[in-house]
Structures are given as structure tokens and as C-alpha cells.
Structure 1
């Protein structure tokens, strides 16, 4: 009895045991444990926090590996991670909340809110870009990693929001608008800087800096006390690593990591530079527990943040499977990837599953039909983002019968 009481107190006080899956979920615990242990043994990741919820109940929770390998600092369940593109869904929800409030319209031209943002097509014509196109990544924009090293985004020094500390939003938007659009807005899907532009629209429509608007509309209503554009507790912030042999390499002050047509430059210290623009596409820091609150709000209809019909639009494919947003069979909603065809995607997930990733090494999905929410945060890029590890966790969850 005393042991049980002490254990309960430790959980309440935030000192939960590393394996917190309730009894009765032994299958999922064993399978997910094996996936995590294998990735750590093979030195594909340095550390991770994994959360699995079924119908709103946490059935698996584990912090494993190291938050800082060189300091031999164990990973904690309340570890803070640079969220990278996990920020996008929160910026998108803030935009949709402003739509509900009548302060923003999906069909508003971006120039209504940012008059100077007028990128042109290669032939010199200036098309209209709408808020809806920013949300759906059909605005004609791109990312530097989609281009070779001598591509126009690199030449213009457009920041992805995880490099160039101290750069202002005004200057980054000027650089972005100076580059020709990749395609006519509305004609294609292309993952891009669109959510960074959306973040500035949200700030102007919301009448306050983006961090303030997101806190007011998203994180505070959901009790996400650890999540924001600044580090709440530096002692809990994980050290980032990049894929390497025989083990991941510490990113350090700055590191270029090859990916796509070129790669991504990571500057982890950016988050501590208060002059850095608040990147709506990749600028936030938070915990797995906080992000679970956010995803559960979407899974259950979002009533504490958005109306149910708004959430339904958010998580419904708006583009079509030709988007291949997370590979074949995946479309895209108003800020998240949506599974259209599980057979084509070769996925055990149900049609309607929504999902996204983060470049610092994160992956999450929500399968509404199965009542599943799965969050995989790591401090290892790109393995934790789109490597074998998040796929192994996904398959372990479904193999366990959930």
C-alpha cells in the first residue's frame, strides 16, 4: 500500500516512472519498448519521448536514451524539444480561430495583411495568393531544402526559421518575395514557407505578435504551459543531434545536414536570440505532454479551441492524394497531412488519419477511427522525423492490436 501511495505521489509531482503504461496494455508496452530499445542499441537515435493515447487515455509513455549524450544526461518525460514543423499545426489552428472570430477570411488575399508581400511568377506576373493557399501549401512557395545549393532560395538567403539567428520577419519576407514563385498559386501542392507567411498574417489579423496570439488562442486554453517561442526551462531542453555513423553527431552551434535537393542548416541557439523572427513554420519549443493536449483537442473536435466543423475542415483532405504530402496516398488539409489511401500508402493507419513531422527529429499522427494519438519526439534528425524509428513505433502500436 505504501509503495502504491508513493508511486502515485511521484506521478502527481511529475516524477513518473519511465514506463507509465497502465496494466492491461502489456502488448503495446512490449512492442513499443522493443522498437525504442532497438533504435537506441543500433545508435540511430540518442534519446526520445514516446506517448500513445487510446480514446484519450495514455496507454504508453516512456522517456528513453539521453537528452545530452556527452553530459550523460538522461531523457525526461517533460523534456523540452525544438519542435520545428510541429509548430505549423498550431499556427494553422490560430489562423482558423481568427476565421471563426471574423477577423480573417480564408479567401483574403495575403496582400490585405502584408501589402509588401508580392512574389511574382517567372514571367513577371503577380498572382493573388490567399490565406487558404497558405494553409494548404498551394501558394507557389518552396523551401531551400527543395532546391540545389545554388538555387534561388539559397541565393536570396531565405531563412527556414531554424537558422540565421537575429533575422527579422520583415527582412525574411522581403527575401522570400524577391524569389520567383515555383508554380501558379492554387495549381499544385508544395511543402513550403507558406506557414511562416501565415504566421505574419495571424499576427497582423490578431493584433499582436505571433507568440502572443498563439498563446491566447491555442496554448493557454489548452493548458500547454511548457510550449512557446522561447525556452521555458533551459535545463530541460534537449541537445540536438544529426544522423551519423557509427552514431549520431552533435549539431553544435551550427550544422548543415544533407537532405532533399540540398539540405538543412540547423542553428540550435537561434531559439535564445530574442531578435529572431517568430517562425510560424518552425519556431516553437515544447513537450510531448503538451503536444498530446493539442492533438487530443483536434481528435475530439477541438471544442476548447475550435468549433467541431472547423476541425473537420482542418483534418479533411483539401488537395487530393496527388499532393503525396507524406508519400503516396497522402493528401493535405488546412495545415496537416491527411491519409487518403492507406493501401497506396502501405500504412496500417485508417483513412482520415492526420499527421506531420518536424525536422529536429519528430513525428506524430492521429487516427480518429481507432481513437489513437501517437507522438514520437527525438533529439535526432532526420531519423526521428522520417527514418525507420517512427515507422517502427507506428507498426508496433498497430501490431499490438490498438
Structure 2
């Protein structure tokens, strides 16, 4: 029955032209129980989507990068209570009154730092005025230049007093690079990919047929995403896309949005964190990541019934969450058209990667996938 409902949801998304193509993987107790590619990877050439195709991962990067950061915490290289300035002395964003409060690494990875994202503002906002990159635009922009731009914009609130989705993971990546002397690609390779035997997780890749072409929802069918496109999302803000960014090796490694990779490699990371396959983190570290780190009443975007841990949102009150999510579920998405969830109680992981924004992240399809399991 579950398989039939998943098939029906995927097929309807193609038939109704809500997505061009996608891959859905589901694992239970570490074993694959559903794997399907559907639709087209590239509509112009007619290339059929394959389970092994690669995607621009957007914020699916975040749990992978967070696992990498937590491995640095495990071995004593970093402490989440450390101030950012211990590693980046010049990174001192200020409140509107001119004071420069202490931002800790914990603040960065829980989005309680007071930093923001440009895509959540109108184009008259401070991040837009400062030219900040959200990690998916401005090919060739360096990490140092983007840090300077972020630091020049005012903080939204004093660190630790609120929650706002932000470029904090990109700043955390700069911290990791500073303390180790290695780039984020080398850190991901050493701490995630090699232990798990993965080969696709990369911040910069050349053009290739197996890299899915990105699209954006439109009528009568999705249209190709182009550099500079800024489709509206959540009100007056909008993500500025530059699909060519991943082909420019000089682009800074965005720990919040910059990875590319295959669904099976992302799933391997999730399986490892759930205790199946080679371990990249100790069980007690994963348990820490799965604990709510902020009061649910300050959580935005997901809304009531959610908190945030290290790397993901956490369902804390199913009665308030606007979906059939069970308590303890971990979940997030990616603006290129992705959504995923982990249900620790059921030992279940679902990963949907599509090439169509924003349907694959927050449209009918991800809702129907959840309903296939929980209604």
C-alpha cells in the first residue's frame, strides 16, 4: 500500500507537470524499501532521470556539513561554546545600536546568531544592499568577501534571543577552514565521504549529463532556471539562483547550500547518522544533534510545533505541526526542489530530490509522500 501511494504521488507530479523529474529513496532500519527515478533529468535533450543522477543540493547540504562540524567537536578541534572571533577575529557584525555582541558556534549552527538570509528580505533589505550571497548565486565570490559583506549588515537580534534562518552555516564553514587549515571540500571528503565510501558530494563540478538540469514551477509547465532568476518565496523575499555557480571552482564552499551529489550518497549519510552502516559520529553526538536546542515558540518558517536541533528541524508537538508528522521527526528541505525526513521511532528515512523548485520542497508531492506513511 505504501509503495502504491508513493508511486501514485510521483506519477501525478509528472503527469500534472509539477516537476520535470525526481528521485525518491526510502530506507527502513537501514534497508532500502523504495527507490524510484521518474521523469526527465533534462527536458531539452530528453534525458531520462536515473537514480544515480546528481543534483544541486541547496540546503540538503546543511545536515551533511553539520555532521562534519560535529566531528570536529567530537575530536576537540572545536567547542560549540567558543566565540566565532576565536577563529575569525575580524567577523564582528553589530546590532543596530552599534554594539558587537559575542556570537558562538552554537548560535551559528542553530540559526540563533542574529544573522539572516538575503532571500528572506525584499531587495531593499540590508543583506541585499550589502551584496551578501546566500551560497547559490554570484559565481566566483570568495569566502572572505562574503564574510565581510555579512559582517557589514546589522544583526537582526542579539545572539541567543531569537531564531532566524541564516548564512550561519557558511560562517561555520569558514571557522572550520580556519581552525583546520583545510578547505570544506577536503573536510567533507575526509570526515564524510571516505568513511562512507561516497564519491559524489562536491562543491564544484564541471558540466555533465548526469547533473540534473534545474527548473522552476511555471504554467503550463516548469521552465528552466537561469542565472539571476529570483522567484518569490514566503512573501516578498525570493531566492536568487545561479545554477552556473557549481561550475566555478572559485566560488566559496557554501556549507549551507553549495553541495552537489547523488540521492544514494545523501541517504548514506542519513543512514549512518541513524546507526546503519559505517559510523561518522558517535551515537551520543547524534543524540545531541536530535535534541531540541531552541524554544519552539521562537521557531519561524516551520511554525508552531517545531524546534531546531543541530542540522534539522525537530517536531516537538504533532498537534501544532501543520502536517501528520510524528513527535521526534527530523526534517528539512532544499530550494532547488528537495525534501527529506527522518523518523527515528520508525527507523525510517525518506529523501526526495527533484529538479523542480519549489514544488519538490514545499508542494503537493512532499506532502503526499508524508501522507503515504502517516495517514
> Normalising by the residue count of structure 1, what TM-score does the alignment of the two structures yield?
0.90
Describe the shift of the 1:82–1:28 C-alpha distance in structure 2 as closer, same or farther (beyond 3 A): same
Residue equivalent to 1:54 = 28
Q: Work out which of the residue numbers 91, 96, 105 in structure 1 matches 2:65.
A: 91
Q: Report which stretch shifted further, 297-306 or 169-178.
A: 297-306
Residue equivalent to 1:281 = 256
The within-5 A match list for 1:11-26 is: none
Residue equivalent to 2:374 = 398
User: Alpha-carbon deviations, 1:201-231, whole Å to 9, x = none?
Assistant: 1112222011101111112211221112123
Indicate yes or no: 2:137 matched with 1:137. no
Return the alpha-carbon distance in structure 2 between the equivalents of residues 185 and 373 of structure 1.
Answer: 32
The within-5 A match list for 1:207-218 is: 207-218=181-192
Residue equivalent to 2:138 = 164
User: Alpha-carbon deviations, 1:149-176, whole Å to 9, x = none?
Assistant: 1111111110011000010000000000
Q: Report which stretch shifted further, 145-154 or 116-125.
A: 145-154
CA contact (8 A) 1:302 1:308 kept: no
Indicate yes or no: 2:198 matched with 1:221. no
Q: Work out which of the residue numbers 368, 377, 387 in structure 1 matches 2:353.
A: 377
CA contact (8 A) 2:18 2:217 kept: yes
Residue equivalent to 1:270 = 245
Return the alpha-carbon distance in structure 2 between the equivalents of residues 244 and 179 of structure 1.
Answer: 33
Shift of 1:380: 0.4
Residue equivalent to 1:6 = none
Question: Which runs of 5 or more residues in structure 2 are unaligned?
Answer: none
> Normalising by the residue count of structure 2, what TM-score does the alignment of the two structures yield?
0.97
Which runs of structure 1 show a deviation greater than 4 angstroms over 4 or more consecutive aligned residues? none
The within-5 A match list for 1:2-401 is: 27-231=1-205, 234-260=208-234, 261-300=236-275, 304-322=279-297, 323-399=299-375
Return the alpha-carbon distance in structure 1 between the equivalents of residues 346 and 67 of structure 2.
Answer: 23
User: Alpha-carbon deviations, 1:4-46, whole Å to 9, x = none?
Assistant: xxxxxxxxxxxxxxxxxxxxxxx22211000011111111111
User: Alpha-carbon deviations, 1:317-347, whole Å to 9, x = none?
Assistant: 1102221452321110012111111111143
Return the alpha-carbon distance in structure 1 between the equivalents of residues 227 and 108 of structure 2.
Answer: 31
Return the alpha-carbon distance in structure 2 between the equivalents of residues 214 and 368 of structure 1.
Answer: 24
User: Alpha-carbon deviations, 1:31-77, whole Å to 9, x = none?
Assistant: 10000111111111110100011111111110000101121111000
